[in-house]
Amino acid sequence: MKIAFLLHDAYGIGGTVSATLNLAGALAKRHEVEIVSVFRTRDTPQGNLESGVRLTPLLDIRANSADKDHQLSRQPSVVSPRSPSFSPLYNALTDQRIGQYLDQTLADVVIATRPVLLMYLAHFGERAYLRIGQEHLTHDSQIPEQRERQNQIIPDMDAFVTVSHADAEIYQRVLPHAASRILSIPNPVTPPSSMPAQSGQRIVVAAGRLVKVKRYDVLVRAFEQVVRVRPDWCLRIYGSGKEEQALRELVMERGLYNHVRLMGAHAPMETEWAKGDIAAVTSDNESFGMTIVEAMQAGLPVVSTDCPLGPREIIQHGVDGFLALPGDPDSVAQALLAVMNDDQLRHRMSEAARQNSYRFAPEVIAQRYEELFARLGNGRVHREVVPASRILAQGRLMAEPGGMFRLRLKVIGEATAGYEVAVKLRDSPEVRTVPVIPGGLTKDARDQLWTDVVIDPRLLRPHEGTWDFRLRTPEGLDERIVAEGVETQHLSGQSPWLDGQGVSSAIPYRTMDDFIAIRTWYRAAHAEIGQVVVDQGGTGFHVGLLLPQPAPAGTALQAVLRHRSDRSVEFAVPVQPTGGAGVAFTVPHREFLLRRIAATDIWDLWLRVGAGGPEARAGRIGGDIIRRKHTDRFPSSLDQSDQGVAHRTVAYVTDDNDLSFSVKHA
């Protein structure tokens, strides 16, 4: 059978895209599957597109593409109204391209994934194939004009599928004459390939678009209550959206910048769920709750608001998570603390979450769709699937507890003699090679062959920078290795490595263009920033001083602030030992104001060991986050100079994860 999905933008990220990619991948094991993306916005999709799924974009709207200036793009659509309720991207050109596709396709089934695409399917679609609509939001959360148009079309479809039973019942009540065509099938969620969560780092993870309906403000206010009781826990919020700045301001206003991090968008999320101990969802409305299932698959108990409609159909209250009152920070905080304060409960819920999430596995959901197709009586002959071309240089990099990295390398065929992994420093001739040991092949559940290559990060010393992974073969292949996944859960909360040679850190990551890379730091000495406290007139630091050789007893330590553009300008502040290698100190903002040089002064923070002794740059190079400039933010301070001039002072993390100050006129 040939199955086609109509998708707005398969190159972006979001619940609809993820669900479609997951379902398409599962169906592709037995059918010919095509995802038709109306718009192409990137060179490659951000989600995981299975090799058996064909991706067909209809309009290219990337910068400088011919479609952006096409004459028809300036003419209105006859299908999608010119209205604030509908995307302005749909026009006469989309009418032409979608119409041509629906007229010429040989599909047995065409599935539309949003209201406007259902309108196109009704307008241009043929009776020769099954026409199925999907609801990825809910009836009540749809924009009224879109909902009205969609409800007019549903009776003419062969089937209309919602992602929750409760939403299907709403549609059946609203459209009683079409009730037999309306049913619910949950979204499929692909189980993670990464290791299940076993972090123990006391991290709460939340993920989704930063928009009002997700109510991350409720989560932040709940976490304010949590840290009063459990200051050893922290919160990571993954995602991007219009509410990001408001959330960041709320974090600063409530003094939570040491406990709450906005991590930005991250796809796929499976490696980040594995770093958590609890997942949190505080939405006012969830049509399904893919993030809930993703978290459960990783073994995280989920604390979610009992909002319409999805969470209560996924979470078993008290078994694999808790349901809290929507919009109520007190209720969310109580549920979080209940899981945090009972280790045995948390472990029981973790195991239950893993087991209960199986009902959303793609193969289970795909079978329900196949049963639907059969019930609708389409009798077309099933076609043989034509596999897409395979990528040779592909692998999964895993940080292991002992500090080594394991590269699980995809193998085509069984000959690996002469293969080597080359790790090359960007913008440098420096390269390190590790041979692939012949043999030792393993086969996964998909009959794919893999071999493991162990990478010792000490091999990359003494350089700081970004290293790209490449696969080289005797046949002349020399390609960057595509990231099937990068797992760094064992790095979460880890300090930089210290030995007799110096201080180093290595954090693997997936690049924006989906390749494997490692960011490394190597220093003779380093000061790792811990807690930061911003008060009126000063910024306080707790720091771990890492030296290859301990400083002699009685050695005077100083925090040194040095001007970036004129390094002869500096000042020092005393530090106080806090036990072990820890020290604490406060940087008075007044010292900056006495030394104004430019419109914006940048000062770098160092620790000096003894008079004329070695200096250690201060920053945050440990752990699992490669770009802390975006995740570790601190509030600014408004300070008055002796002349009464207002200045804005803020500590910030640089592109290299070092700590600096910015001082400028307010």
* pLDDT for the residue numbered 392: 62
Give percent of the chain above pLDDT 90. 77
CA atoms within 13 A on the CB side of 312: 13
* pLDDT for the residue numbered 554: 77
* pLDDT for the residue numbered 14: 82
Amino acid at 645: V
* pLDDT for the residue numbered 292: 96
- Taking 70 as the threshold, does the pLDDT of residue 632 lie above it? yes
Of 546, 527, 511, 526, the residue nearest 627 (C-alpha): 511
* pLDDT for the residue numbered 389: 37
* pLDDT for the residue numbered 379: 41
pTM, two decimal places: 0.79
* pLDDT for the residue numbered 390: 41
* pLDDT for the residue numbered 441: 72
3-state secondary structure string, 498-530?
A: EECCEEEEEEEEECCCCEEEEEEEEECCEEEEE
Contact 405, 508 (CB under 8 A): yes
Token duo for residue 226:
């949590």
Amino acid at 462: P
Amino acid at 414: E
* pLDDT for the residue numbered 648: 95
Average pLDDT of span 633-660: 94
* pLDDT for the residue numbered 512: 85
Distances in Å between the alpha carbon of 113 and those of 19, 119, 132?
10, 11, 9
* pLDDT for the residue numbered 445: 61
- Taking 50 as the threshold, does the pLDDT of residue 536 lie above it? yes
CA atoms within 13 A on the CB side of 202: 15
- Taking 60 as the threshold, does the pLDDT of residue 207 lie above it? yes
* pLDDT for the residue numbered 415: 62
Which of residues 418 and 100 earns the better pLDDT score?
A: 100
- Taking 50 as the threshold, does the pLDDT of residue 213 lie above it? yes
Tell me: the pLDDT tens digits for 477-534? 889 999 989 999 999 999 999 988 899 999 999 998 889 999 999 999 999 999 999 9
Q: Where do the domains of the chain lie, and which CATH numbers do they carry?
A: 2-184 (3.40.50.2000), 203-355 (3.40.50.2000), 394-523 (2.60.40.10), 526-665 (2.60.40)
* pLDDT for the residue numbered 197: 66
Average pLDDT of the chain, as a whole number: 92
* pLDDT for the residue numbered 410: 83
Token duo for residue 192:
């993670």
Tell me: the pLDDT tens digits for 552-562? 877 889 999 99
* pLDDT for the residue numbered 15: 84
Contact 564, 604 (CB under 8 A): yes
CB atoms near residue 15 (< 10 Å): 19
Q: How confident is the model at residue 413 (pLDDT cuts 50, 70, 90)?
A: low
Average pLDDT of span 141-164: 94
* pLDDT for the residue numbered 284: 95
Average pLDDT of span 186-211: 86
- Report the alpha-carbon distance of residue 408 to residue 516 in Å, rounded: 12
Contact 187, 15 (CB under 8 A): yes
- Taking 60 as the threshold, does the pLDDT of residue 382 lie above it? no
The backbone region for 642, taken as left when phi is positive above 0, alpha when psi lies in -120 to 50, beta otherwise, is alpha
Contact 591, 603 (CB under 8 A): no
Contact 251, 177 (CB under 8 A): no
* pLDDT for the residue numbered 439: 67
Token duo for residue 631:
């995740």
Give percent of the chain above pLDDT 70. 95
- Taking 80 as the threshold, does the pLDDT of residue 145 lie above it? yes
- Taking 50 as the threshold, does the pLDDT of residue 231 lie above it? yes
Element (H, E) at 295: helix 290-297
Tell me: the pLDDT tens digits for 85-113? 889 999 999 999 999 999 999 999 999 99
- Taking 70 as the threshold, does the pLDDT of residue 378 lie above it? no
Q: How confident is the model at residue 384 (pLDDT cuts 50, 70, 90)?
A: very low
Average pLDDT of span 253-277: 94
Tell me: the pLDDT tens digits for 17-52? 999 999 999 999 999 999 999 999 999 998 889 989
- Running DSSP on this structure, what letter comes out for residue 177? G
Question: Residue 660, Cα to own-chain centre: how many angstroms?
Answer: 27
Q: How confident is the model at residue 412 (pLDDT cuts 50, 70, 90)?
A: low
Which of residues 311 and 391 earns the better pLDDT score?
A: 311
* pLDDT for the residue numbered 386: 37
- Taking 90 as the threshold, does the pLDDT of residue 211 lie above it? yes
3-state secondary structure string, 430-469?
A: CEEEEECCCCCCEECCCCCEEEEEEECHHHHCCCCEEEEE
Residue with tokens 């000490």: 458
Tell me: the pLDDT tens digits for 232-263? 999 999 999 999 999 999 999 999 999 999 99
Q: How confident is the model at residue 380 (pLDDT cuts 50, 70, 90)?
A: very low
Contact 414, 441 (CB under 8 A): yes
Q: Would you mind telling me the total number of residues written for the chain in this entry?
A: 666
Tell me: the pLDDT tens digits for 50-88? 989 999 999 999 998 989 889 999 999 999 998 888 899
Contact 178, 154 (CB under 8 A): yes
Token duo for residue 331:
């209720």
Beta bridge partners of 450: 410, 442
Residue with tokens 């200036």: 69
Tell me: the pLDDT tens digits for 432-490? 999 988 766 777 666 667 889 999 999 999 999 999 999 998 888 889 999 989 999 99
Average pLDDT of span 569-593: 95
Q: What are phi and psi of 519, to 5 degrees?
A: -100, 125
Token duo for residue 434:
């590790």
* pLDDT for the residue numbered 500: 85
Distances in Å between the alpha carbon of 556 and those of 210, 474, 523, 553, 574?
47, 57, 21, 9, 9
- Taking 80 as the threshold, does the pLDDT of residue 6 lie above it? yes
Of 532, 558, 529, the residue nearest 650 (C-alpha): 532
* pLDDT for the residue numbered 103: 95
Amino acid at 363: E
